[in-house]
Amino acid sequence: MKYEKILIRFGELSLKGNNKMTFVRKLASNISKICNVDLKHIDIMIDRIFIPYSIENLNNLNYVFGISSYSPVFQLNSNLDEIEKLIQKIDFAPHKNFKINSRRKWKDFPLSSLDLNIHLGNFVLKNNKHLTVKVKDPDIEVNIEIHKNFSYIFWEKIKGLGGLPVGVSGKTIHLLSGGIDSPVAALEMIKRGVQVDFLAFISPPHTDETTIKKLKLIVDLITKYQIKSTLYLFNYTEIMNYIGLTSNQKYKIVLMRRSFYRIASSIALKTHCLGISNGENLAQVASQTMEAIHVIHNQSLLPVYQPLLTLDKIEIISKSEKFNLFPISTIKACETCELFAPNHPATKPSIDVAQALEEELDLLQGLEEKAINNNIERLFFKINSKIDIK
C-alpha cells in the first residue's frame, strides 16, 4: 500500500463567503512555494486541496498557515471492489473498535454515504471478529471520500497551523529584537495572513556580529513560513548616543522607543505597510506599562499591532519552542535596549515630559532623517535559497 496524495483541509477559510476561492487559490500558491511543488500538480477544490504525497511535503505543510488539518491518502478508482480490497489490507489488529465515515461527493455512485457506512462496517466486522463499532471517539476512523474520478481512503489526521494564508492581509513593519518575544509576535501576525517586513535597530560596536547573526537566523527561519522577507538593519548608534545625553536619564528608553516609532512610521509609509507590529507584552517591563505604551505609540503614524499583548511569558516561550525559534532567541548577544537601559526607568512617563526632553535634544530630528537616508542596510530573504549567515 502506498500513499498517493495529501488531502488538505482549511477550516477558517469557509467563513470567507464570496471571496473564498481567492483565499483558496492563495493558499494553493503558498503550498506550492513552501512545499516546492509545481502548481500544475496541485488539485484545488472548493473545500479541499490535494498535493502529491511525499515525506518532505508532509513535513513542509507544518510551515503553511491557513490549513486546519491534513491527511496522507490512498487514491483508487471509485468502485466498490477496489474500496473493499484496500480496506481489507488495513491492519486492525492493534485496535478494539472502529468507525467508517463515508462522504459521497459524486452522487452517481450506487450507494449513499449511509449505505456505504453500513456496507463497509459489516465488511470490516466480518473480517475482524475482535472489533466493535464505536461512533464516538473510535480507536480508528476510516474515512472514504467518493469523487467522480477517484476515491480517497485515509485514517490519519494531522493538525495544521490554522490561521489564514500569508499574503491575504496587508503588510506591517515588524520591530524585531533578538529576544524571545518579537519573533513569536511576527509569526502571530503571519498567522493572520499578514506579510511582515522586519526592522531591527542595532548599535555597533556595542552590538556585535552575534547580534546580527541572530537576527538573520530568526528572519531566515520565519521566511520558511512567509516565503519572502525583507530585513532592515538600522544603525542606531549615533541617535542612541545622542538620546543618552538627555537631562532626565529615567526617560532614556521611552525617548528611544518614541524615536523607533517615528522611524518605523517613515519606513512603513514609504513601503506601503498598513501598520507597525511588535512583541510588546502588557506590564512585562517598565517600557510596557500602559502609561509607557501610551507615550511611545503616540509617535506612530500607523496602527500598532501587539499580538502578544496579554499572553503570559510561559505561553510565549511555548510558542517560541513550537516554532523552533527558542534555541536561536536564547543565543547570548548584546541587545541595543539592554545596553541603554537606565537603572530606574520611568514606569509612568508622560507625553508632556517626553516632548519637553525632545525639544532639548534639538538635533534629534535631523539625526533621524539623516539615518533614515543613510544608515539602513536592506537584506532580502527567499524561501529555499541559502543566505550568507556569518
Question: By the criterion CB under 6 A, which residues form the site for ligand ATP?
Answer: 175-177, 179-182, 199-201, 278-280, 284-285, 287-288, 336-337
Picking from 217, 226, 219, the residue whose alpha carbon sits closest to that of residue 193 is: 226
Rounded distance, CA 164 to CA 370, Å?
38
A 10 A CB-CB count for 204 gives 15
Cβ nearer to Mg ion, comparing 50 with 201 = 201
Cβ nearer to Mg ion, comparing 44 with 334 = 334
Cβ nearer to ligand ATP, comparing 151 with 182 = 182
The entry of Mg ion, ligand ATP, none near residue 57 (CB within 5 to 8 angstroms by kind) is: none
Cβ nearer to ligand ATP, comparing 145 with 280 = 280
User: Which amino acid is located at 170 in the chain?
Assistant: G
Cβ nearer to ligand ATP, comparing 49 with 199 = 199
The entry of Mg ion, ligand ATP, none near residue 368 (CB within 5 to 8 angstroms by kind) is: none
Q: Degrees (nearest 5) of the Cα angle 189, 193, 196?
A: 50
Check if the beta carbon of residue 86 is closer than 8 Å to that of residue 129: no
**Taking the complex as a whole, how short is the minimal distance between the CB of residue 322 and ligand ATP, in angstroms?**
16
The entry of Mg ion, ligand ATP, none near residue 201 (CB within 5 to 8 angstroms by kind) is: ligand ATP
**Taking the complex as a whole, how short is the minimal distance between the CB of residue 180 and Mg ion, in angstroms?**
8
**Taking the complex as a whole, how short is the minimal distance between the CB of residue 183 and ligand ATP, in angstroms?**
7
Please give the size of the binding site for Mg ion, defined by CB under 5 A. 2
The entry of Mg ion, ligand ATP, none near residue 285 (CB within 5 to 8 angstroms by kind) is: ligand ATP
Cβ nearer to ligand ATP, comparing 117 with 329 = 329
Ramachandran quadrant class, 162 (left: phi over 0; alpha: psi -120 to 50; beta: rest): left
DSSP letters spanning 306-338: -TTTT--HHHHHHHHHHTT-HHHHTS----HHH
Q: Phi and psi of 34, rounded to 5°?
A: -75, -35
The entry of ligand ATP, Mg ion, none near residue 145 (CB within 5 to 8 angstroms by kind) is: none
Q: Cα 91 vs. chain centroid, distance in angstroms?
A: 37
Piece in contact with Mg ion (CB under 5 A), picked from 177-185, 204-212, 214-222, 303-311: 177-185
**Taking the complex as a whole, how short is the minimal distance between the CB of residue 30 and ligand ATP, in angstroms?**
25
**Taking the complex as a whole, how short is the minimal distance between the CB of residue 186 and ligand ATP, in angstroms?**
9
DSSP letters spanning 7-49: EEE-TGGGGGGGGHHHHHHHHHHHHHHHHT--GGG-EE-SS-E
User: Which amino acid is located at 133 in the chain?
Assistant: V
Piece in contact with Mg ion (CB under 5 A), picked from 173-181, 243-251, 292-300, 345-353: 173-181
Single residue of 30, 57, 177, 336 touching Mg ion by CB under 5 A: 177
Q: Is 68 helix (H, G, I), strand (E, B) or coil?
A: strand
Q: Binding marks (x or -) toward Mg ion, 300..339, rule CB under 5 A?
A: ----------------------------------------
75: which residues sit within 8 A by CB, 6+ positions away? 4, 5, 150, 151, 152
The entry of Mg ion, ligand ATP, none near residue 128 (CB within 5 to 8 angstroms by kind) is: none
**Taking the complex as a whole, how short is the minimal distance between the CB of residue 278 and ligand ATP, in angstroms?**
3
DSSP letters spanning 357-380: HHHHSTTHHHHHHHHHHHSEEEEE
Contact between 226 and Mg ion per CB under 5 A: no
The entry of ligand ATP, Mg ion, none near residue 188 (CB within 5 to 8 angstroms by kind) is: none
DSSP letters spanning 135-203: SSS-SEEEEEEE-SSEEEEE---EEEEESB-TTSS-EEEEE--SSSHHHHHHHHHHHBT-EEEEEEEE-
**Taking the complex as a whole, how short is the minimal distance between the CB of residue 140 and ligand ATP, in angstroms?**
43
179-198: contacts with Mg ion (CB under 5 A): 179
Rounded distance, CA 80 to CA 139, Å?
24
User: Cβ-closest residue to ligand ATP?
Assistant: 179
Torsion angle in degrees (nearest 10) through CA of 188, 190, 196, 200:
30
Which residues contact Mg ion (rule: CB under 5 A)?
177, 179
